[in-house]
Amino acid sequence: MPTKPREKSKSVGKGRARKVRLKSAGGKGGKIKIKYLVAALALVGSVLPRLSVQAESCPDVRVIFARGSGGERWTDPNYLEYKNTIESKLATTSLNYEFIDLDYPAVGVGADNLSVTVGALFGAGDAYEFGDSVNTGVKNLAKMVNSASCPGTKYVVGGYSQGAMVVSKALGSLNADHIIYAATFGDPKIYLPEGKGLMPAACRGENLSDYRMYVPDCQAYKGLLGSYIPYEPEALVGKVGTWCNRRDIFCSSRLSISDHVGYVADNLYEDASRVIFDKITKTFGIENKVSSPHDTAFLIDSTGSMSSMINSYKAEALRLATETLNSGGRVALYDYRDLGDPYTPVEHCNFETCTLEVFENELATIRANGGGDTPESLLSASFHTMQSLNWKYGATKSLVVLTDANFLSPDRDGMTFDEVVRLSKTIDPVNFYIITKSAYGSDYAELASRTDGRVVTNFDELSLLTDYIIERYDTLPRVEESEPLAQPSLEVKEVTAVDGGAKIKFETDSARTLAALNDTILGITEENEITISGLDIAAENILRLVPLGDDVRGEGVDVNLAGYGGIVERSDNTDGSSTTVVFNNIEVILPKAPNTGRK
């Protein structure tokens, strides 16, 4: 069994830099020299154990991860979490496998003056060529995946932050036949067209990209540094997934740094590992023996009209509860009635108190009685049930409704359909499984669809539904519906050639604008004019301007500066000398990490 080399990423010397002037509208100010502000920081582990590998010379599965900016090879916390969550599942199979932390620079910045707990978006660091680092990663990843030396080996690739850019940029050049799955986390180059516009389709739960696995922000559209389009090459359809934490500044429309460094703490690698392992087992035609814990709550309609059906419903509820508890899950039991009845719902036992004996005894006490008109008080009952239970993070969450009627909307206390769906998605989501008469199946179709559940109207299908609930694996919601926030806008008004570079004038309704050149963040200005001199005509030279509001960023605007400027004198000497970025006549704003408090 081979062991991993103790190779660490090589330190990167001083890179190339360019002069940038941000001109103030008036007054004289001194020149302020600052170094590049690099696009991302990743937390780095300190003392972590040597890793082990289970592999053959040509393993069945090779799992590769590209760490984020500044991450140290083999010990980066994001790599370790990615590895550990997948390896715990691969260990249940007879497959040979190998884990690799991709060999590439993953350039980063010094963070001596920043909180290692939160990290920061901007900090005074050395000037690196960020794009060169990404391109090196792309080349090394493609060389490994496309190699003909192990024709039977299949690959799972993943990357975080800068590493996510490596993966998403490389996808078009990878041999699709060799790929099982590609996962990106916090990708500054994400592309989700359903997030565009004043009322994005994603905010209505519509037209979601199939690779959108967990992106709660319905306004997520393009990454902070733009997008790779297409994000999912045609040859890899169904083999790509992206995870973007709730308010991650690099891939969502919000401005949180703590969410960008929170992929380990928020268990998003565990969520992804379930999707990845399912793909692996299907690729090799083996049984998926890994199941997530189950939280299943039963909500039984106990109005008088249920008299002829309730015993049959109880029998299936008991079978599902038994299988859930036997698989290590938890159950809860409630019943509900009509709006005119004095209560809704009644708790018989919850996740902490429901043993199989308690569940069976409490189930026997439920009697069909009361009720009024046909629609029952399900919305209020389901909302109250979801809200009162202590759902386990990472568990598969189900609300099984047994009823012979449709539901009131609005319900008690004005409860609405949308409020129930929103709470379901906020929790994880809670999937609604409705067992009802065929006459009411269509009434529940949207509720089941929007909570990723099912409707069963044929009693013969009840056992199949029980099997499905037990066997499925859990994932987080693809998107959370919400009212979109007003986003700031920016419009470029004029670009003129000056001093071997360009002067860019723009208008924005935001107080701050972020400027990035060729995927390297330069800084933030409050002014509406930027002059960049010393542009390298051999470089891509795409300037990206992003308006920043108080809690939301607007869509970035790309300015193509190709053809402007002249060759910059290189400063790649071993003594570390380099040119500097110069901001003239304005106070340079170095924002502290916003929104560091976790909810």
Calculate what percentage of the chain has a pLDDT beyond 90: 49
When mean pLDDT is compared across 10-19, 134-143, 349-358, 381-390, the lowest value belongs to 10-19
DSSP conformational letter for 548: E
Residue range 452-457: mean pLDDT, rounded: 87
- Whether 128 has a pLDDT exceeding 70, the answer reads no
- pTM for the complete prediction? 0.68
**Nearest-angstrom CA–CA distance, 403 and 441:** 11
When mean pLDDT is compared across 141-145, 168-172, 469-473, the lowest value belongs to 469-473
- 127 pLDDT band, cuts 50/70/90, is very low
pLDDT for 62: 98
pLDDT for 226: 93
Higher pLDDT, 252 or 132: 252
- 311 pLDDT band, cuts 50/70/90, is confident
Residue 573, by phi and psi: left (phi above 0), alpha (psi -120 to 50) or beta? beta
Domain boundaries, the chain: 54-106+128-284, 294-471
pLDDT for 348: 97
- 372 pLDDT band, cuts 50/70/90, is low
- The Cα-based distances of 131 to 1, 22, 225, 489, 582 in angstroms read 36, 23, 11, 27, 21
pLDDT for 498: 82
Residue range 462-476: mean pLDDT, rounded: 69
Q: Which tens digits make up the pLDDT trace of 537-551?
A: 777 888 999 999 988
Q: Which tens digits make up the pLDDT trace of 208-244?
A: 999 999 999 999 999 999 999 999 999 999 999 999 9
* DSSP alpha helix (H) spans, 198-303: 268-284
**Nearest-angstrom CA–CA distance, 81 and 93:** 20
Higher pLDDT, 289 or 101: 101
- Whether 60 has a pLDDT exceeding 60, the answer reads yes
Least Cα distance to 219 among 167, 261, 171, 255 occurs for 255
* DSSP alpha helix (H) spans, 25-161: 77-90, 130-145
Residue range 572-585: mean pLDDT, rounded: 39
pLDDT for 463: 66
The residue type found at 392 is K
- Whether 593 has a pLDDT exceeding 70, the answer reads no
Q: Work out whether strand 154-160 and strand 490-498 pair parallel, antiparallel, or are unpaired.
A: unpaired
pLDDT for 345: 86
pLDDT for 401: 93
502: which 2 tokens? Answer: 């360009």
pLDDT for 375: 81
**Nearest-angstrom CA–CA distance, 543 and 307:** 70
- 20 pLDDT band, cuts 50/70/90, is very low
Calculate what percentage of the chain has a pLDDT beyond 70: 78
> Domain 294-471 is of which CATH architecture?
3-Layer(aba) Sandwich (3.40)
Widest Cα–Cα separation across the chain: 87
- Whether 115 has a pLDDT exceeding 80, the answer reads no
Class of domain 54-106+128-284: alpha beta
CB atoms closer than 10 angstroms to residue 426: 15
Q: Are 531 and 31 spatial neighbours (Cβ–Cβ below 8 Å)?
A: no
Least Cα distance to 367 among 326, 337, 408 occurs for 337
- 10 pLDDT band, cuts 50/70/90, is very low
- 306 pLDDT band, cuts 50/70/90, is confident
- 16 pLDDT band, cuts 50/70/90, is very low
When mean pLDDT is compared across 80-94, 108-122, 193-207, 581-595, the lowest value belongs to 581-595
**Nearest-angstrom CA–CA distance, 262 and 273:** 16
- Whether 460 has a pLDDT exceeding 90, the answer reads no
Q: Are 20 and 522 spatial neighbours (Cβ–Cβ below 8 Å)?
A: yes
Q: Would you say the CATH fold of 294-471 matches that of 54-106+128-284? A: yes
Higher pLDDT, 541 or 341: 541
